[in-house]
Chain A
Amino acid sequence: MFTQSLSRIGLYALTTAVPVALVAAAPAAAKTLKWASQGDLNSADQYMRNQTLSLSIMSNVYEGLIRRNPATLAIEPNLAEKWEIVEPTRWRFHLRKGVKFHDGKPFTADDVVFSADRARSKGSDIKGRLPGVKEVKKVDDYTVDFVTEKPNPILHVEWATWGMYSKGWSIDNKSTEVVDPTKGEAPNFATTNANGTGPFKLKSREADVKTVFEANPDWWGKKNFPNSNVTEVIFTPIKSAPTRVAALLSGEIDFMEPVPVQDIDRINNNKGTRVISSPETRVVYFGFDHHRDELLYSSVKGKNPFKDKRVRQAFLHAIDIEAIKTKVMRNMAAPSAMMIGKGIHGWSADFKRLPYDPNKAKQLLAEAGYPNGFEVQLDCPNDRYVNDEPICQATVGMLQRIGVKVNLVTKSNTVLFGEYQKMETSFFMLGWAPGSYDSWNPMQFLHRTVPTGPDGKSIPSCCNYGRYSNKAFDALVDKIGQETDQKKRDELIKQAWTISIDDVAYIPLHQQAIAWAARDSVAKLEPHAGNEFLWWYVQMK
């Protein structure tokens, strides 16, 4: 079926499209943007994996009702021109008129209703985009209402990465469902093809090798970006960092990310290449198993040392975050006291980390009943965050010096995060960047008590993998989720973070910096604190 439709397109191109394309392409010279990242696009279906790289690549193809300004992160109108809250539980969105999907179909309210259903369907990984939405109602062709169960002041904040699908196209191509082949389901048309309204069209895809996109000449937003001149984008995954650097230095690619921190100077000193860096909102942290009565991977039997706050404090005191910053991260990180980074609503400089103090740490351990320390396993990804494995190795040494023997286990994030989901870890590294740029998200997903089923067992849910639980905190999270008065809400947020930090619910490490690198062929681009590379902001020489 795939080849058939290809040949049909090919035939069509031969008869009609070619002369037109030639005429249209003649004045503007072709500008190809070649770039590489360490991972590959998971699927052409934006709803299949809630993962930054895939979401951001596909947001060049699929557009949301809103978008984020990359410089300010402010919410801007996109496919919705404006919106209002008609009643506390009813949001009304007015859609942009004259927008067309890549296949030529017009974009209307039906597509929004369809996309909402699709995003909440069984296989979708982005169900969280529409929390507590009871109903999505078409008012007329260009007006849609979202009805929520409770008032939700931040309903739309994550919608920049919820792209609109065409109802007609999805039905025609039997792709109304989101299928996840990693769960044994057969792929459908939408896993390898795309049809959005955005500035770029998916042209061809070879998993792991390259994915090619071409500019959409009929994009509605073109007039707002007169300097945008990329006509073709070739995306290549290059997992090995030295190879990626070499490819940039030798001019085989125009752009790449992430830059290994040790190569920043070299890229900057090399003629024709530069590093663009800015703080990322992601916080990298260590988590504890707060729940089990005996840890899965530890020498302590019959009790869980992490249930004792003094042990958690001792661990925090033991970590020399400045040494990690200067040596491992080469200053491309900002140590963090909170589980959110600067740039997230609710961040405050008032919170301070417990200082690096190994003696105090030893004393706390002794008070908790572990004068000679204990043994525990640390799980750590080796291909997810900037220098994740070296950070964990350094931590092993630091904890060793307060008497805690850490057995380090490093794995690829795809394997490891599966184990996290099953909560099979005692002490682990993870990172978090809320797509909503608001505190409620990490409070809800990393701190709120994990629900238990009728059998008394925890129901696995994203992403409080250590099952931290605090009744006072839970109550605050619920209030924050519904409070529409900004000032009151901010006060509640501050209270909640105070609990998290006093409790040492987690050990936040730092906000890593985004490090992009480009050749001079890329004259202009727009850095993005959410680490999204938006091609229509790119201007090439």
Chain B
Amino acid sequence: MLARMLDSDIWHSFRSSRTTVVAAAVTIVMVLAAVLAPWITPQNPWDPGALQLIDAFNPPVWSKDGSWQFVLGTDDQGRDMFSAILYGLRVSLTVGFLAVLFAMALGIAVGLIAGYVGGVTETIIMRLADVQLTFPTILIALMIDGVTRAMLPADLHNRIAVFVLVFAIGISNWVQYARTVRASTLVEKRKEYVQAARVIGLHPALIMLKHVLPNVMGPVLVIATVGLAVAILTEATLSFLGVGVPPTAPSLGTLIRIGNNFLFSGEWWIVIFPGITLAVLVLAVNLLGDWLRDALNPKLR
């Protein structure tokens, strides 16, 4: 399947767009930095015992009082900003990828069922999808997070905060996958092999999945890429509003929330560096999504 995706046309289109190459490079570097964070950061910013309060509010290295020990400065707890940003990237990307995978799996399953079963099931699912599509991601995620917060003990909620976010963001993004898959399923349903499968005793749905998937691979990939950017932004926003991950294991959004308190007092680096990192990451992913959409849909430019 992947081989089909990467046929020469697309590869050529990729190479001829300098912006896209840069975006891809930036994304790869950020993913690598996040994955390798424990080995390349000077400090584990999530280990409270490693933080020394006395190191708090160190400016970046090029400032008057900066030091090479903390290249991008430290936050209010003496946390090295460079390390914190890399670990924050880990949260952003983990939540982003898992949420997209979850939404994708859910959307594909639901879309397949809706398209295959049809009738009342289909109407109910698609009506639900219509309605949910009008509810913005952030609102749904906020509500799910709020409900789980009320249901779980606070300490447990802190421990599984990342999964709550994945669930909340994933749940609010399944619709587009479902719509695409359903549409494709409806086309496939009429084809002869479905009947044939039934004859040889295989479950038709399984067979269809095998045939539907290649057809929807392109659009799903586009939705997923854009969805990744949306998921990362949603996580950052929830953490900014103070309902995301706990402050002892900060994500980029949490760092920005903390830094926002020090914006007027001159400690700009606490908000600016995570802000730039977040914006660059989302921009790179968006650029990739943009390119992918155009490359897979020759009608648009």
Give A contacts to B, CB under 8 Å.
241-242, 245-246, 249, 260, 262-263, 265-266, 297, 320, 323-324, 327-328, 377, 382, 389-390, 393-394, 396-398, 400-401, 406-411
Closest to A246 in B: B264
Interface pair B56/A407, CB less than 8 Å apart: no
Contacts A/B (CB < 8 Å), 18 sampled: A245-B264, A246-B264, A262-B265, A265-B265, A297-B155, A327-B76, A327-B78, A328-B56, A328-B76, A382-B242, A394-B53, A394-B77, A397-B49, A397-B53, A407-B158, A408-B158, A409-B155, A409-B158
For A398, the closest partner residue in chain B by CB is: B53
Between B262, B264, B267, the greatest number of chain A beta carbons within 10 A of the residue's beta carbon is seen for B264
A306 to B80: give the CA distance in the assembly, Å. Answer: 33
> Do the beta carbons of A400 and B266 come within 8 Å of each other?
no
Known contacts A397-B52, A400-B48, A411-B154, then 7 further A-B pairs from the complex at CB < 8 Å, ordered by chain A residue:
A263-B265, A323-B54, A327-B56, A377-B155, A393-B48, A397-B53, A397-B77
Report, nearest first, the 8 A-B pairs whose CB atoms are least far apart: A400-B49, A397-B48, A262-B265, A409-B154, A323-B53, A396-B48, A327-B56, A400-B48
Contact with A along B50-67 (1 / 0, CB 8 A): 111110110000000000
With a cutoff of 8 Å between Cβ atoms, the chain B residues found around residue A407 in the complex are: 155, 158
Q: Mark B151-193, 1 if CB is under 8 A from A, else 0.
A: 0001100100000000000000000000000000000000000
What total of chain B residues lie within 8 Å of the partner, measured CB to CB?
A: 28
Instruction: Give the A-binding residues of B (Cβ under 8 A).
Output: 47-54, 56-57, 76-78, 154-155, 158, 242, 246-248, 260-267
State the total of A-B contacts with C-beta under 8 angstroms: 74
In the complex, the answer to whether B264 meets A389 with C-beta atoms within 8 Å is: no
Main secondary structure of the interface of A (DSSP, over half): helix
A383's nearest neighbour on chain B, judged by CB, is B242
Please, how many angstroms separate the alpha-carbon atoms of A408 and B247 in the complex? Answer: 9
B76 touches A390 (CB 8 A): yes
Please judge, given known A-B contacts A390-B76, A397-B48, A408-B246, whether A263 and B264 are in contact too, CB under 8 Å.
yes
Could you tell me if B57 and A327 are in contact, using CB atoms closer than 8 angstroms? yes
Q: From DSSP, what is the main secondary structure of chain B's interface residues?
A: loop
What distance in Å separates the Cβ of A365 from its nearest Cβ neighbour in chain B? 15
CB of B49 within 8 A of CB of A401, answer yes
Contacts of B76 in A (CB 8 A): 327-328, 390
Q: Which residue on B lies nearest to A416, using beta carbons?
A: B154
Please, how many angstroms separate the alpha-carbon atoms of A508 and B53 in the complex?
Answer: 19
A111 to B51, CA, bound (A): 59
Inter-chain contacts of A266 with B (CB < 8 A): 264-266
Inside 8 A of B248's CB, which chain A residues have their CB?
393, 396, 408
Min CB distance B6 to A, Å, is 47
Q: How far is the CB of A534 from chain B (nearest CB, A)?
A: 28
Distance of A398 Cα from B248 Cα, bound (Å): 13
User: Which A-chain residue is minimally distant from B55 (CB atoms)?
Assistant: A327
A377 to B157, CA, bound (A): 13
- Give the CA-CA distance A393 to B158 in the complex, in Å: 14
Known pairs A396-B248, A397-B49; A390 contacts B77 (CB<8 A): yes
Q: Residue of A at shortest CB range from B258?
A: A390
CA distance A389 to B77 in the complex (A): 11
